[in-house]
Amino acid sequence: MSEKTTGQIDNVMHEDRLFPPSEEFSSKAVIGSMDQYQQLYDAAANDLEGFWDGIAREDLHWFEPYDTVLKQEGHNVEWFVGGKTNISYNCLDAHIVAGNGDRTAIIWEGEPGDQRTLTYTELHAEVCKFANGLKSLGVGVGDVVSIYMPMTPELAIAMLACVRIGAIHSVIFAGFSAEAIADRNNDANAKVQLTSDGLYRRGKVLPLKATVDEALEKSPTVEHVVVLKRVENEIAWTEGRDHWWHELVESVDADCPATPLDSEATSFILYTSGSTGKPKGIRHTTSGYNLWAKKTFQWVFDWRPDDVYWCTADCGWITGHSYIVYGPMSAGATCLMFEGAPNYPAEDRFWDLVEKYKVTIMYTAPTAIRAFIKWGDEHVEKHDLSSLRLLGTVGEGINPEAWMWYHEKIGGGKCPIVDTWWQTETGGLMMSPLPGATATKPGSCTKPLPGVFPTIVDESLQPVGENHGGMLCISRPWPGMLRGIWGDDERFFDVYWKTVPGSYLTGDNARIDEDGYYWIMGRIDDVINVSGHRLSTIEVESALVSHDAIAECAAVGRPHDLKGQAIAVFCSLKGVEPSEELRQELKLHVRKEIGALAVPDDIRFTDAIPKTRSGKIMRRLLRDVAAGRKAVGDTSTLEDFSVLAKLAEDDEG
């Protein structure tokens, strides 16, 4: 498979297969034709405010109506100004009021195979109790609650409880290290930490509470810790600070009305990597975010009440926020939530789940699809996947071969695939096929959704022509857009708004083909995408240079069959000799500083890091070396870059 799935850019440049939706699919779809899409798109283009006004009135519950749809001052925007709503109300109470409280909200399966289902009424009750529990710890509007938990229903309950009372959640993926938690908690001023005694991962128990204990030594703003009992392991306990989840909810009132919140109230922050070492707390709002998550879910996943929808992401990432919790639950969908890994206890776990729960819509990542291809078709063929009617992907571009495999082996050749392009910052989907309307091309995210206005410009900020790559920007505001970087307005402006005046800079490169289809061509900054997770090269470098042996280092991405990109680092040493032990020690060090997801795949020792005359690391050269595009010697010895560096220097000079 390796030959087939590499060389993505080359492949997609020559991709001309077209897959129109079937008549059967279109006839039942929410948006069933390109004409209908175009009408919506034009309506938004001609009257952006009128377009969103109509949708917001219909789709959200308002405690108080807004007086202004959109207020814009430069890059600072406000949507639905003056209105009051509550995301948790829209996700829960609204369905109960409409008589749909008995509909299943969450079907959950844990890694060991334990199961639980919650109707909307039951979920509402759990959320109310936990919200009151949080209140009893003094949590109120604007307080930050840090969440470091396994993929249990309680993770969704915690998120919904926070937004119910106006607390701001900051979910930290449970694979991050104590250092990473402490950094994020300190940046956010977190007041309460939610965690569990542990987490099941491929049959082992990871001690989440112990990691939190270590993190809190360095993040003193946290006053209380709430611990969910999940694995029943031994944990350390700090009296007065630590509380069991089940005890906290025992004595509280069952009733907790949703707090009416300003449209622009911060609903959550979510840390993501940018081009510097310090992760950014991306700040999202209440009504604009809620509306975007709901509407994009309904349009793109063509949702119907009898669907069983499964997004395989973790709530630690934006995909889990918008498409496990807020989007589908605002719509009233039945969501499968899964705690475990795709290959535990065996490589057919996902297909077992699809068959068992009769999943109709599945949303996953290209990196997972590539792993399934590698594991072999026999794991798929064991199961009846005929319930599926729609497939989606997110996180990185999908290479056409993986797309074809997904289409044929998983979708039985009959399910449309929605390749959804978006970012933590955009809050929800931005470009994607509409499954009943858009003819898809493997590897293209096709067209912008109604209300999304992309442009592609070159370095002199001029729009590029057909099939020319350039910086992808969004020229008009959309309700779900980020409103800031937590505590850093200057960085917010510098990163997203300074380069192309008046437009949001996505950080991605893209091109438009002759049919007006968009093709994402990777990042323009120093962000690498490892298995669909964003990491900045500088973050990895900062972690490494904090080790005594490292004089200097540079991290770059290189192509990887399964992960999309792998992390390759070049290190020059101080006072020690290169060795295999040192390489292992450095890997452990990065794991400790950031987490397992940032551990470099290759560590190469070099005598010096090649730089330009102005002192910039020659990243392009290192990327070539890392990808094996230039001949290099044995990686276990010092690499001599002097010749390469000299050549490159001559090129530049």
Which residues contact ligand 6R9 by CB under 6 A?
A: 272, 317-319, 394-397, 419-424, 445, 506-508, 520, 523, 529, 532, 534
What is the spatial distance between Cα 293 and Cα 426, in angstroms, rounded to a whole number?
10
Please check if 360 is assigned to a binding site. Answer: no
How many C-beta neighbours within 10 Å does residue 519 have?
22
Write down the least CB distance from residue 282 to ligand 6R9, Å: 8
What is the spatial distance between Cα 591 and Cα 176, in angstroms, rounded to a whole number?
8
Reference 289, options 258, 262, 267, 260; nearest CA is: 267
- The answer to whether 228 and 157 are in contact (CB under 8 A) is no
CA angle 453, 454, 460 (to 5 degrees): 130
Please check if 619 is assigned to a binding site. Answer: no
Please check if 423 is assigned to a binding site. Answer: yes
CB neighbours of 527 closer than 8 A, spacing ≥ 6? 273, 274, 275, 507, 534, 535, 536, 537
**In Å, what is the CA distance from 95 to each residue of 117, 134, 328, 331?**
17, 24, 12, 9
Nearest residue to ligand 6R9 on Cβ basis = 424
Write down the least CB distance from residue 7 to ligand 6R9, Å: 16
Write down the least CB distance from residue 237 to ligand 6R9, Å: 35
Please check if 266 is assigned to a binding site. Answer: no
Write down the least CB distance from residue 315 to ligand 6R9, Å: 13
Please check if 395 is assigned to a binding site. Answer: yes
Which C-beta is closer to ligand 6R9: that of 396 or that of 639?
Answer: 396
Write down the least CB distance from residue 362 to ligand 6R9, Å: 15
How many C-beta neighbours within 10 Å does residue 72 have?
11
Please check if 531 is assigned to a binding site. Answer: yes
What is the spatial distance between Cα 142 and Cα 427, in angstroms, rounded to a whole number?
20
Reduce the DSSP state of residue 313 to 3 states and report it.
Answer: coil
Write down the least CB distance from residue 529 to ligand 6R9, Å: 6
Which C-beta is closer to ligand 6R9: that of 259 or that of 424?
Answer: 424
Write down the least CB distance from residue 401 to ligand 6R9, Å: 15
Which C-beta is closer to ligand 6R9: that of 180 or that of 216?
Answer: 180
Structure tokens of 59?
């789709």
Which C-beta is closer to ligand 6R9: that of 118 or that of 394?
Answer: 394
Which C-beta is closer to ligand 6R9: that of 101 or that of 433?
Answer: 433
Which C-beta is closer to ligand 6R9: that of 196 or that of 272?
Answer: 272
Please check if 419 is assigned to a binding site. Answer: yes
Please check if 201 is assigned to a binding site. Answer: yes
CB neighbours of 21 closer than 8 A, spacing ≥ 6? 29, 416, 435, 436, 437, 438, 439
Which C-beta is closer to ligand 6R9: that of 153 or that of 320?
Answer: 320
Which C-beta is closer to ligand 6R9: that of 170 or that of 319?
Answer: 319
Half-sphere exposure of residue 1: CA atoms within 13 angstroms, side-chain side: 18
Write down the least CB distance from residue 420 to ligand 6R9, Å: 5
Please check if 319 is assigned to a binding site. Answer: yes
- The answer to whether 299 and 502 are in contact (CB under 8 A) is no
Reference 588, options 596, 580, 578; nearest CA is: 596
Please check if 164 is assigned to a binding site. Answer: no
- The answer to whether 474 and 454 are in contact (CB under 8 A) is yes
Structure tokens of 153?
């229903």
Which positions make up the binding site? 201-204, 319, 343, 395-397, 419-424, 508, 523, 531, 534, 545, 547, 550, 591
Binding residues for Mg(2+): 545, 547, 550
Q: Binding site residues for CoA, as ranges?
A: 201-204, 319, 343, 531, 591
Binding residues for ATP: 395-397, 419-424, 508, 523, 534
